[in-house]
Amino acid sequence: MNKRLKGKTALITGAGRGIGRSIAETFADEGCRVWATSRSLEPLRDLADVGGIQILQLDVTDVGRVARASEKIGGIEILVNNAGHVAVGAILDCTDTDLQQSLDVNLYGAFHMIRAFLPGMLARGAGTIINIASVLSSISSVADRFAYGVSKGALIALTKSVALDYVDRGIRCNALCPATILTPGLNDRIESNPDPAAARSNIVNRHKMGRLGTVEEVAAAAVYLADDASAFMTGQLLIMDGGMTL
């Protein structure tokens, strides 16, 4: 079987569970040398037993730690900015802290990572950046996701700006924009609802396909964006929404 990412090195943030974990495992299976990172080391520990994966504790909101990670890891070909924070509520429910935390993780986290690792990509004349955004952004919205949507919309703007500024220097930057993906974090939020069954049904019914997306589907799309098969693609949004925005 042809390993599509053989010989490449990737760093993935927020790889402890859910989408990030699936991307880390799938990239490793495709022959990539993977640095799986997370704010907490505990959810990463069993990934250290997976061939091709190295783990590293990394808080993307901490500029100093990001800089030290860059020094430790060195050059990479692929950066996946997946670390995320989901704040719930409309604008009148949103505190300054809620909005700042959303921006710190979802926007500034990607900003810090790109600033740290892009120079090495430029020095080699090649690199691929994949930002995990969302359809809940500048694309569409649902109720009570004000801070989340604002931060992900800004991440899309960041994606396009980076893509344009470095398009002639071998750098590609694209955004993956899923609708609702079945992850442990989503399950936690559903189960904390007073009526979990109704909450789950409401979320599923947003999607005209009648189901949620899977982390494996998002990981497969990330492989495409990381692979040379997408070499003519930059500054674009790969929307995976189960028909939600139709």
DSSP string, 91-140: TTT--HHHHHHHHIIIIIHHHHHHHHHHHHHHHHT-EEEEEE--SBTTTB
80 has pLDDT over 90: yes
pLDDT in tens, 35-53: 999 999 999 999 999 999 9
Least confident span in 13-22, 120-129, 193-202: 193-202
Q: Provide the pLDDT for residue 204.
A: 96
189 has pLDDT over 90: no
Q: How many CB atoms lie within 10 A of CB 198?
A: 11
User: Exposure pattern of 166-184 as b/e (b: 16+ CB <10 Å)?
Assistant: beeeebbbbbbbbbbbbbe
Give the integer Cα–Cα distance in Å for 222 and 4. 12
Give the integer Cα–Cα distance in Å for 129 and 187. 28
pLDDT mean over 177-200: 92
Which residues have CB under 8 Å from 221's CB, separation 6+? 176, 238, 240
184 has pLDDT over 90: no
Confidence label for 173 from pLDDT (cuts 50, 70 and 90):
very high
pLDDT mean over 140-169: 98
Give the integer Cα–Cα distance in Å for 220 and 25. 11
* Strand, coil or helix: 80: strand
The greatest distance separating any two alpha carbons of the chain, rounded to the nearest whole angstrom, comes to: 53
Q: Active-site positions?
A: 148
Taking the alpha carbons at both ends of the chain, their separation in whole angstroms is 36
Average pLDDT, the chain: 97
1 has pLDDT over 80: no
pLDDT mean over 73-101: 97
Q: Provide the pLDDT for residue 185.
A: 86
* Strand, coil or helix: 172: strand
CB 163 within 8 A of CB 172: yes
CB 55 within 8 A of CB 44: yes
